[in-house]
Amino acid sequence: MNRLRLVPILILTAATTLAHPPASAQSGASKPAPPPAIKSFDITAIDKTADPCTDFYQYACGNWVKNNAIPADQVRWARSFSLLGERNRYLLWQELDAASINPRTPLEKKYGNYFAACMNTDLVEQKGLSPLAPALKRIADLKDAHRLATLIGELAAEGSPAPLYRFGVGQDEKDSTKQIAEIGQGGLSLPDRDYYIVDSKRFDAIRKQYVEHVAKMFTLAGDTTGQAAIEAAAVMEIETALATASTDRTVLRNPERHYHIYTLADFQKLAPDFDFTVYFKDIKVRPFDTLNVATPDFFKAVNDLIAKESVDAWKAYFRWHTIHGVAENLPKAFFDENFAFFGKTLQGQQEPTPRWKQCTAMTDRALGEAVGQDWVKQHFPPAAKDSMDKLVAALEKSLGDDIETLPWMSDETKKAAEEKLAMIRNKIGYPEKWRDYFALKIKRDDLIGNIRSDAVFSRNYNLNKLGKPVDEKEWTMTPPTVNAYYQSSNNDINFPAGILQPPFFDFTVDPAVNFGGIGVVIGHEMTHGFDDQGSKYDGKGNLREWQTAADRKAFTERTDCVANEYSGFEAAPAHGDAPQQKLNGKLTLGENTADNGGLRIAWMALLDTLAAQGKSVLEKIDGYTEAQRYFLGFAQVWCQNQTEPSARQSALTDPHSPGRWRVNGSVQNFDEFGKAFGCTKGQPLYPADSCRVW
Ligand SMILES: [Zn+2]
């Protein structure tokens, strides 16, 4: 839930989502089993030996955390996100499995075939690397590094991995009605630039293992051990140079840092040795005169690299990405080696994700608005949308009340904030108009071919937007997704049907638990419009200051307080060669601000709702007051276990804080929590001083 350039876009940092999508790798043939129902409020999760005023996360989640080890095929296991994600995936699998056997419509046939091709691992085995032959030949034929643009353009045109940078079409940050070309840094394989350039024992070890992995993949592809070692070293050298030239993701949170409008001619001057006109022609983008160059220095560095690296080094780099990019869909030897490094070593995943889960997720990514049509018919009744409309309206009112009573903001800025709030558009459940997949050709016996068709289809869909009006009704998450997002350029909040299910959204429970669940989620998304990034955009989605200078200064002091506070929280304890790792308060600032705001305004909406029903937050159910149940319901959304390597990776790359700090960080900044649990002022989660933005 922060700003989201969601399209296949450049700026990786800009996730505006509620949570980081679960990472996983896959394989195996285990049988899907129906998942259990998920309780919205789980009294058995509570660790009553913990002191809620000292560690509320432990209190609300302690028993759950103790009793729910991470399944072997996961790296993060969360009580709400993972369990609901597993449930939705199972329901989707049922639909895909049925469509792959007995399709009733042309659309079912299409996604049924996509799924069937993915499940057919025997055929994958038989084909070996032959589906990659055309791409590998193009690479082998490279004669001159000055022809890299041609190579990348041709690889992209056929839907093969075409690394080095990212190109697409997105809304102009300063005129959100316009859709313009954008280009920015890319080309890495490890999760972040730090993995290449930070000097530490842990990263040294990972880099060594990565190079060994790349070499193993080359030997599997038929190269000699000696040749593979040379190629792997070249891959590492090029990726390290790209990492060094890349801008840090925390820096890129500032929208001005990735907004640089260039004429095409001036952009070409940044990298004179790379002929972008050839590339643009190959991918068939309509002619344009100007574009946003998110990271200009990166392209200067790429230009230097073109001359510096040998043709053979470049061949190794592209050959690597061709194989690595589809490694999960190659024969088992490639799959296993890929899992051993990217799953097990890098993230601590013990077993690959079962094939049916992998294929369900892939089909959802490729054809989500086709599969999703039936999914919402079965799992998202119209009554759910009506309830959500009412809840969103209640939260809007609360945020308005909150803005009105903010002690630090001038009336002038309050008026502008209220205008922006009034302009937020709400999108609930699924798109009004479904995407047309007619142009996407799918074959039942060609998995890699389908992946390429989807890559081309998706890129064409994106590039076709160039110069056209913005489609405000478009969605960037598929209906069964367990997540939500705010999009700055459209000033809209989006809640896929997938998250509008228990334990988030449940009208069989008391309002306190429901407001602690989906209420806080809605409040979180709305607050994104006013966090460190979102607040820089106006109600129309344009990057434009609407706060007075004094208010912006006061705002920044408050966000600095939040950033410093979360920077003190531990992301991973010291372990072996790795020292203790703290959270990056600046990277997670938007999410933390949204969590804090969401908790406050959902509470206000709960009070309004209870008052309208003639009830009070002091009424008890199962021994807890409604006030306590609100905070417990909120906290139990975030109960989780995570492997240590994955937690360390998240601390570097995920703009969301881990569950413990989403809970403890938010409640310690909200006095109503301390009051609800009878804490004494000065206790850790009821401090004398706390941070507050909204
Ligand atoms: Zn968020």
pLDDT, tens digit (0-9, with 9 covering 90-100), for 133-177: 999 999 999 999 999 999 999 999 999 999 999 999 999 999 999
Residue 396 alpha carbon to ligand 1 centre in Å: 17
Residue 525 alpha carbon to ligand 1 centre in Å: 6
Query: Distance between CA 184 and CA 205 in Å, rounded?
Result: 29
Run of H or E including 166: strand 165-172
Strand partners, 17: 485
DSSP H helices in 246-324: 264-270, 276-282, 296-308, 311-324
- Mean pLDDT confidence for 607-632: 96
Q: What pLDDT is recorded for position 4?
A: 33
Query: Cβ distance 234 to 317 under 8 Å?
Result: yes
**pLDDT, the chain, mean:** 94
pLDDT above 90 (res 36): no
Q: What pLDDT is recorded for position 10?
A: 33
pLDDT in tens, 425-464: 999 999 999 999 999 999 999 999 999 999 999 999 999 9
pLDDT in tens, 170-222: 999 999 999 999 999 999 999 999 999 999 999 999 999 999 999 999 999 99
In the sheet that 425-429 helps form, which strands lie side by side, from edge to edge? Answer: 425-429, 492-496, 485-487
* Buried-state track 18-40, b at ≥16 Cβ within 10 A, e below 16: bbbebbbbbbeeeeeeeeeebbb
Report residue 34's pLDDT band, with 50, 70 and 90 as the boundaries: confident
Query: Cβ distance 369 to 478 under 8 Å?
Result: yes
Q: What pLDDT is recorded for position 17?
A: 64
Report residue 27's pLDDT band, with 50, 70 and 90 as the boundaries: very low
Residue 485 alpha carbon to ligand 1 centre in Å: 6
Q: What pLDDT is recorded for position 19?
A: 67
Residue 475 alpha carbon to ligand 1 centre in Å: 16
Residue 594 alpha carbon to ligand 1 centre in Å: 6
- Measured over the CA atoms of residue 272, residue 273, residue 274 and residue 275, the dihedral's sign is positive
Residue 19 alpha carbon to ligand 1 centre in Å: 6
Residue 528 alpha carbon to ligand 1 centre in Å: 7
pLDDT above 50 (res 6): no
User: Look-up: residue for tokens 């690959």?
Assistant: 352
Distances (CA, A) of 237 to 232, 321, 398: 9, 14, 53
Q: At what angle do helices 355-379 and 106-119 cross, to 10 degrees?
A: 160
Q: What pLDDT is recorded for position 20?
A: 61
Q: What pLDDT is recorded for position 26?
A: 46
- Measured over the CA atoms of residue 555, residue 556, residue 557 and residue 561, the dihedral's sign is positive
Residue 484 alpha carbon to ligand 1 centre in Å: 8
Q: What pLDDT is recorded for position 404?
A: 96
Residue 198 alpha carbon to ligand 1 centre in Å: 28
Residue 393 alpha carbon to ligand 1 centre in Å: 19
Residue 371 alpha carbon to ligand 1 centre in Å: 26
Residue 300 alpha carbon to ligand 1 centre in Å: 33
Residue 502 alpha carbon to ligand 1 centre in Å: 19
For residue 217, count other CB atoms closer than 10 A to its CB: 25
- Mean pLDDT confidence for 480-496: 97
pLDDT above 70 (res 7): no
Q: What pLDDT is recorded for position 30?
A: 58
pLDDT in tens, 221-278: 999 999 999 999 999 999 999 999 999 999 999 999 999 999 999 999 999 999 999 9
Residue 588 alpha carbon to ligand 1 centre in Å: 9
Query: Distance between CA 164 and CA 187 in Å, rounded?
Result: 4
User: Look-up: residue for tokens 């007051």?
Assistant: 625
**Percent of the chain with pLDDT strictly greater than 90:** 92
Residue 541 alpha carbon to ligand 1 centre in Å: 17
pLDDT in tens, 323-365: 999 999 999 999 999 999 999 999 999 999 999 999 999 999 9
pLDDT in tens, 545-587: 999 999 999 999 999 999 999 999 999 999 988 899 999 999 9
Residue 280 alpha carbon to ligand 1 centre in Å: 34
Up-side HSE of residue 236: CA atoms within 13 Å toward CB?
20
Among 14, 16, 15, which residue's Cα sits nearest to residue 1? Answer: 16
Q: Are strands 175-185 and 290-293 parallel, antiparallel or unpaired?
A: parallel
Q: What pLDDT is recorded for position 33?
A: 85
